[in-house]
Amino acid sequence: MNFRILATAFATAALTVATGCATQQLYSTGQAWQRNQCTRLVDQQERERCMANAGASYETYKKQSDLENTQGK
């Protein structure tokens, strides 16, 4: 019985870590795409603003996203 609990806990922890990594990878891929789109902008100020937004860290994005989700409920 204890083995099942331990195995379930381990599987849950592994899934949580894997999901977090996958989410961060998706965010990084999206950032790369956004930076690529920014380079296509002709207006320098707009391009700089776009690059600044694309440069936000995953942690910053996550905090902002969590805050917006909390306020929206």
The reported pTM is: 0.59
**Predicted local distance difference test score (pLDDT) of residue 1:** 47
Q: Yes or no: say if 34 and 53 are a contact pair by the CB < 8 Å rule.
A: yes
Q: Specify the residue for token string 């795409």.
A: 33
Q: What average pLDDT does this structure show over 44-63?
A: 92
Structure confidence at residue 32 as a pLDDT band (50, 70, 90):
very high
Tell me the C-alpha distance between 57 and 60, whole Å: 5
Beta carbons within 8 Å of 28's beta carbon, 6+ residues apart: 58
Q: What average pLDDT does this structure show over 29-35?
A: 92
Q: What average pLDDT does this structure show over 7-33?
A: 72
Domain ranges, ordered by start, for the chain: 21-71
Beta carbons within 8 Å of 53's beta carbon, 6+ residues apart: 34
**Predicted local distance difference test score (pLDDT) of residue 65:** 87
Count helices and strands in the chain by DSSP H and E runs: 3, 0
